[in-house]
A and B are shown apart, each in its own frame.
Chain A
C-alpha cells in the first residue's frame, strides 16, 4: 500500500533562514511519481514539482530545491532564504503507476510552515 509521511507538523522560522521539509514515502511499485504542493490560507493547491521514480537528479528552481533519494525513500524540499510569502501548508504526495500523476494521489499530512518577519 502506498503511504506518505511528513513527520514535521509545524515549522516556524525567521525570514531569510533556510528550511527543509521532510517527506518519506512507501510504495511497492517500481514506477511512481512524487509531488510537492503548496496550500496557502486561501485553500487552493499550488503545484510545485513532479518527479518520477527513475529520475533521482536533484532539482533547483529559484529558492526551491528538492532532494530525491530512493535509497531512503525520501523526497525532501528545501526553501532557501525563506520569505513571509512562503508561509503555507506544504503537502508531499505520491501517485503509483506510469501515468505521470494522472492517477489518484496519496497525500502526506502536510507541514505548516510559518515564516516570521
Chain B
C-alpha cells in the first residue's frame, strides 16, 4: 500500500529554534499534501494544504510566516516551524494524496512528529 514517511518522529529543542519536518510519499507521487496539528487530547486540525509547485493554502488563524510550507516535488513537502516557542509544542502529522479519478484514493498519513519546545 501507499506509504508516507515523516521525519523526524520526535524533536526536542530550545525556544527560538527553527525546526523542519519532512513528509515524503515513498511509492507514489503526491499532488497534494496536508499538514495537520494535534494538541494533547484534542482533535486534528488542518493547518494548510500544499500543492506541488504552488504556494500553500493556509487555514484561518494559521500564521504562514510562522509555519513555512514547501512542496518542491511530487514526493516531498516540508513544514518549518520558525522561531519555535513552547506554545508551538504539538503533534504534527502530514498526509499525502493523489487525484486519480479512476481510483479515488484516500489520503495517506505519515506517523507524525512530536515537537517539544523547552
Binding site for B on A (CB under 8 A): 33, 35, 42-45, 47, 50, 91, 95, 98-110, 112
Contacts and interface: CB of A to CB of B under 8 A. Distances in A.
B91 A45 contact: no
A43 B93 CA distance: 9
Chain B interface category by residue count: 20 to 34
A102 B43 contact: no
Interface of B: 32, 34, 36, 41-46, 49, 91, 93, 95, 97-100, 103-112, 114
Contacts of A45: 44, 93, 109, 112
A102 B109 contact: no
A104 B81 CA distance: 21
B106 A101 contact: yes
A101 B43 CA distance: 18
B106 A100 contact: yes
Given A91-B44, A108-B43, A109-B43, A33 B106 contact: yes
A102 B112 contact: no
A43 B107 contact: no
Contacts of A35: 106
Nearest to B107: A102
B112 A44 contact: yes
B98 A102 contact: yes
Given A33-B106, A104-B34, A43 B111 contact: yes
